[in-house]
Structure formats: structure tokens, C-alpha cells
Amino acid sequence: MPKIRVNGLDVHVQRLGHTGDAPRPVVVLIHGLLIDTLASYYFSLGPMLAEEGMDVVMYDLRGHGKTSRPPTGYLLEDFVTDLDELLDALEVDRPVHLVGNSFGGAIAYAMAAAHPERVASVVAIEGEPPARTWQESMYAGLVEGDLVIERVTEWLRENPGERNMRPFRTAGKTLDATTIAQEIPQSRLIDEDLSAIRCPVFAMFGGASVLAAQAGPLEALLADCRTVVLPDRGHSVMVEATRETYTLVRDWLFEQETHALRGAR
């Protein structure tokens, strides 16, 4: 299994479409929190984007999938350092496109704010920039009791034989064995005016998700931002509408690369 030593962790990485000779646009796909892993991309957007000529990097976040699960160290800035050092380890020296789903979107925004020279664009699928609203929802979801994941784990315990149980058991273990839930809401935030994010941003939302209300404010605040709201889709828009999501992401990436090529001339 391809594991790379990064920031004191063994990080599980899968890369598709990488060719040593002709450099291709690098796209890093960042998955969501707790029940998610790089598999969400590996069996959906990953191979399709590689097929279109992109160099696709997928990795399991710390505490997730096959990457190490340290007991502590789950501030957003830890996730950002992991990504920064992962790019070093992979010897990626050109700006990359970051695609983040849900919590992965927050990591993408935070990375763009902390290392603007490394980020060509951000695609956030149902993801928020790490500002106060994000912090409040992280706090509500992870700290203020009544954790969704705990309710689901409890329900699965009472309904044995139910499908897709293992990801929830794994998530339950991570919650028990680490300080992830306590730490994430304590992460360093970016300024409310989002001025730290200067790269082009494409934000996608499900119309039935509470996050969709952020589309307008995002466009107003960010210098270069496009938003799309997919009607009737929820927070899991990437799973519910994989094809649609893929087409939007692909077209955005193509457009960004055309700009980059023009700019280089």
C-alpha cells in the first residue's frame, strides 16, 4: 500500500494519471470528516479526471482511512501542514487545484489562505471557509452533545446486520481514541472578510442543504468566485449526483488551465 511519511504520519496516498515525462495539471482531492476516506474519490471523480489528462492526488486525512491516527493534533492547521508537506514529498512544485468535499472544503480554503503560492484554485463541494459560521457549525456538530455520528452508531448497534456499518464503527473509534471532536472547533480561523483567499474559487452546494445560503455571501466577499446550487440535492451532493458534480468540476478545471496557459504565454 502506498504510504508516504509526512509530518510524522504515514499518509496513505493514491495517485492516478501521473506521468513522469509530461507534467499534467495537478488536482488534489480532499475528503470529508469521520465517515469519509479517499475511497469517495477513488471510485468516482478520481479515475474520471485522470482519464481527462489530470494528475490526480488522493490521500486519507490524519485519523481517517489507512493514514495514521495520532491521539491528538486535529486542528485545521495540522491538516494544512500535512497537505503542504505531502506536496513537498510528492515533489509537486507547481500550483495545484484543490477539490474539497465538506470538511475537505474547509481544508482547501485554509490551505489557499496559508500557502497562496501553492494553490491555483479551490473547488469546494458543500464546504465552508474556516470563518466563524464554520466554527459554530463544527462546534454544534462535534461538541454540543447529540452528535449525529453517535446517534447513527447507536442505531446501528440496535439494528445489527444493517449495511455499511463498518465506516460508522471506524468513525466511532476515531471519536473515542482521539481529540478530533474537541480540537476542530478550536482551529485558527481566517478573517470574516475572507480576504486571505485570493485564488479563483468554485463553490458547489446542494439546494436542500443549509449551506446553500452561503452561496450569495461567498460571491460577494471573494474576489474571484463562482457558485452553483444544485436544486433538491443535499449535503451529500457528490454521492447523490456524482455525474453532475464531475462534469462541473471537470469544466471548471479545464477553464482554469486554459487561463493558466494563456497567462503563461
Total binding residues toward another protein, as defined by CB under 8 A: 23
Contacts with another protein, 26-45, as mask; x by CB under 8 A: -----------xxxx-xxx-
Give CA torsion, residues 186, 191, 196, 202, to 10 deg. Answer: 80
Give 118's DSSP letter: G
Helix axes 148-158, 166-177, angle to 10 degrees: 130
Q: What gap in Å lies between CA 237 and CA 94, rounded to an integer? A: 30
CB of 186 to another protein, least distance (A): 28
* 86 and 120 Cβ atoms separated by less than 8 Å: no
Q: Which stretch binds another protein (CB under 8 A): 19-27, 47-55, 109-117, 142-150?
A: 47-55
By C-beta, is 43 or 155 nearer to another protein?
Answer: 43
- 65 binding another protein? (CB under 8 A): yes
* 38 and 31 Cβ atoms separated by less than 8 Å: yes
CB of 134 to another protein, least distance (A): 26
Q: What gap in Å lies between CA 122 and CA 30, rounded to an integer? A: 11
54 grid coordinates: 489530470
Single-letter amino acid, residue 123: V
- 166 binding another protein? (CB under 8 A): yes
Q: What gap in Å lies between CA 243 and CA 251, rounded to an integer? A: 12
Q: Which of residues 169-198 bind another protein (CB under 8 A)?
A: 170
Contacts with another protein, 2-31, as mask; x by CB under 8 A: x-----------x-x---------------
CB of 165 to another protein, least distance (A): 8
Binding site for another protein (CB under 8 A): 1-2, 14, 16, 37-40, 42-44, 46-48, 51, 60, 65-66, 163, 165-167, 170
